[in-house]
Chain A
Amino acid sequence: MVGQAMNAREEILARVRAHRPSAPVTVPRDYLPDVAGIDVVEVLVDRLVDYKAGVHRASAASLAEVLGALVASSATVVVPPGLPPEWFTGPVVRDSADAPVSVGTLDAAGVTVVTGCAVAIAATGTLILDAAPDQGRRVLSLVPDHHVCVVWTDQIAGGVPAALARLADPSRPLTLISGPSATSDIELNRVEGVHGPRRLDVVIATR
């Protein structure tokens, strides 16, 4: 098996070497490094609303209150290991490496997960999660039916290139989220709510 795999590798590489174009290619990079001249908060809100996500505003002082209202009807609130404790006054289930929350718990009815994010992209209405301590494992923002994501205004970039450049380490598990789960598979009309969280609330907070 290993011997055969090695052969395939060498054979494919030899064929690529024999057939590849000989001339080196210069890659033009004349595209815009960022979407300039926009109010990133306003554009992000517009895109999120278009995706049918809930959008809420908060200040550092009112964040706990806004989050509290969003999870008021939830049976369980799950948070990643590094979510600041002062964001919640009520009881929360905190995920940790020593005591990871089970998939069954996350899948139960009425579970809300609250996370932060690494970067947001205004032009495309995208939240990027990079598994930092305030976002946690990927499964946390996937299995529960309700995801609340806190975005600080200074985390919002204009366009895709500017946002990707801000990521600390691209080899961490990355999840880009643009609105609640959706499908366009039936007559190419977008329907929100398939396998991922069917409800996405975004809290845009000013420090």
Chain B
Amino acid sequence: MNGTGNIVALKPFPDAARLELDDAQLRTNLRRATHTIRDKRLRVVGEVDDWEQLRLSGAAIKDDVLARLPELLERFEEAATKAGAVVHWARDSAEACEIVTALVKETAAREVVKVKSMATQEIGLNEALEAAGIAATETDLAELIVQLAEDTPSHILVPAIHYNRSQIREIFLSKMPGVTRGLTDEPRALAEAARKHLRAKFLTATVGISGANFAIADTGTLVVVESEGNGRMCLTLPQTLISVVGIEKILPDFSSLDVFLQLLPRSSTGERMNPYTSMWTGVTPGDGPQTTHIVLIDNGRTATLSDEVGRQALRCIRCSACLNVCPVYERVGGHAYGSVYPGPIGAILSPQMTGDGANKTLPYASTLCGACFDACPVRINIPEVLVHLRQKGPKSRAEHAAFASISWIMRDRRRYAAALRAARRGSAPLRGRGPLRRLPWPASAWTVSRDLPLPPKESFREWWAKR
């Protein structure tokens, strides 16, 4: 069953990318931000002597989880229930939104505060709540910027990465109540404005909504990794807490965090440790929310699991290191991918979670340079999956015919030599003008985004035979 929600691209990647490439400011912002974080990541990863061993363990723990997922999900459900949480299951985004909306309605709350969460972005929860008359406030600074700007996130970790400080100031000035023209574009001043804006909401909210970075099967514990403390506010102050968690977030036991609490912060924000990590198990009397719900979602994850090569994408811990090193992401930004999961990981995750829309173009949104694989803390071989998805993907009849004839020619040495001779003879009048840049249809399908090199005067075999 396919996933649904904000993971379906509406426009083919090349069309969406062309629009984004027109925005020079966007490219400047992205280049600056991705290079800053790349350098930070390299510095803090370099100081860990056993980084590669941690990566190998991290990848294997996640693979082990996928192999034992039914048992671990049942164990998690049992432990969390025993600790006082209520566990729900949702097949797709519509079902997940329905469950969460019903849970909020039960509390009679008209407002909820949200911790930054990819799962709730994926299922389009804010839109669903709004349709039910419930206002959801994003409390992560970057998510708040995107929400105020009525925009969509463009990065997994820093959804507002496409805005620079003065653009953020403009958004605050026009959309944040109580902000005056005296606000400067100093990051400190902007963060202070967000603190003031959200403080009252935190202290009065009765329902908090979160995702989770990890779910521990042994104990039923959920883990949220964050920076600002908005997460702690939402996880601690409301009476009711609803957490939306993908089924692949399971870890077998607490000691698995040995690995992931080292891999995640250094890979994502390039810090030795993120400022705050919260872990909670069901309900603790007298401390934090006294009603906790966990909504486990599939939404295309089991479809992804069915592909032997592609299922490694489910190891992803949403660190976004692959986005920050990707030459394609750096130029087009996150919106071109048309999914809440952009960049290299999005190019393999979105099309596997749902074959809908323009997602079939995403595996081509890459140069296959492999920087993403090197940066991935759980060793997802993204280039391998990209090539695999390209091979599996739909092909036009003309492409099939072209490759069938090339295959026929290349299977026989005489046919191949003859074809080369013919190509050289045919291209002789054009020689000396360098590679061809523009050809008429149907060859324009090739030259629209690539040069066509001309065959040389003689082949190596011919040169060798003459000596």
Contact = CB atoms under 8 A, between A and B. Distances in A.
A206 B280 CA distance: 31
Contact of B229 (A24, A173, A181, A188): A181
Contacts, number: 250
Contacts of A15: 1, 298, 302, 305
Contacts of B139: 195
B262 A160 contact: yes
Contacts of B216: 170
B215 interface: no
A111 to B, nearest CB: 14
Contacts of B61: 27
Nearest to A23: B67
Contact of A188 (B33, B68, B195, B308): B33
Nearest to A180: B275
Interface string B193-209: 01100110011000000
Contacts of A194: 141, 191, 194-195, 227-230
Contacts of B316: none
A109 interface: no
Contact of B274 (A143, A159, A173, A178): A178
B198 A193 contact: no
Contacts of B249: none
Given A8-B90, A182-B275, A19 B305 contact: yes
Interface string B35-60: 01100100000000110011011001
A189 B39 CA distance: 12
B57 A30 contact: yes
A190 B187 CA distance: 9
A154 interface: no
Given A27-B61, A175-B232, A188-B161, A160 B280 contact: no
A100 B286 contact: yes
Contacts of A161: 255, 258
Contacts of A184: 37, 158, 227, 269
Interface string B258-283: 11011001000101111111111100
A21 interface: yes
B273 A124 contact: yes
Contacts of B74: 13
Interface in A150-179: 159-161, 164-165, 170-179
A25 B67 contact: yes
B308 A31 contact: no
A197 B276 CA distance: 11
Given A27-B60, A195-B195, A125 B287 contact: no
A142 interface: yes
A30 B91 contact: no
Contacts of A139: 236-237, 287-288
**Interface bin, chain A:** 35 or more
A20 B69 contact: yes
A110 B54 CA distance: 43
B64 A195 contact: no
Interface string B413-433: 000000000000000000000
Given A19-B302, A25-B63, A181 B227 contact: yes
Contacts of A146: none
Interface residues of B, number: 99
A21 B311 contact: yes
Nearest to B269: A184
A176 B277 CA distance: 5
B244 to A, nearest CB: 14
A86 interface: no
A183 B191 contact: yes
A196 interface: yes
B99 A5 contact: yes
B3 to A, nearest CB: 12
B221 interface: yes
A181 B36 contact: no
A138 B265 CA distance: 22
A207 interface: no
A165 B50 CA distance: 18
Contacts of B308: 21
Given A20-B69, A137-B287, A164-B255, 8 more contacts: A26-B60, A30-B57, A97-B286, A137-B288, A173-B288, A177-B276, A182-B275, A189-B187
Interface of A: 1, 5, 8-9, 11-13, 15-32, 47, 51, 97, 100, 103-104, 107, 121, 123-126, 131, 137-139, 142-143, 159-161, 164-165, 170-191, 193-197
Interface of B: 1, 29, 32-33, 36-37, 40, 49-50, 53-54, 56-57, 60-61, 63-64, 66-70, 73-74, 83, 88-91, 95, 99, 102, 139-142, 145, 158, 160-161, 164-165, 168, 187-188, 190-192, 194-195, 198-199, 202-203, 216, 219-221, 227-230, 232-233, 236-237, 247, 254-255, 257-259, 261-262, 265, 269, 271-281, 284, 286-288, 296, 298, 302-303, 305-306, 308, 311
17 contacts: A11-B91, A12-B73, A12-B91, A29-B57, A31-B259, A47-B272, A100-B286, A104-B203, A171-B83, A175-B278, A185-B142, A186-B187, A187-B33, A188-B36, A193-B192, A194-B191, A197-B229
4 closest A-B pairs by beta carbon, nearest first, are A196-B229, A195-B229, A124-B273, A161-B258
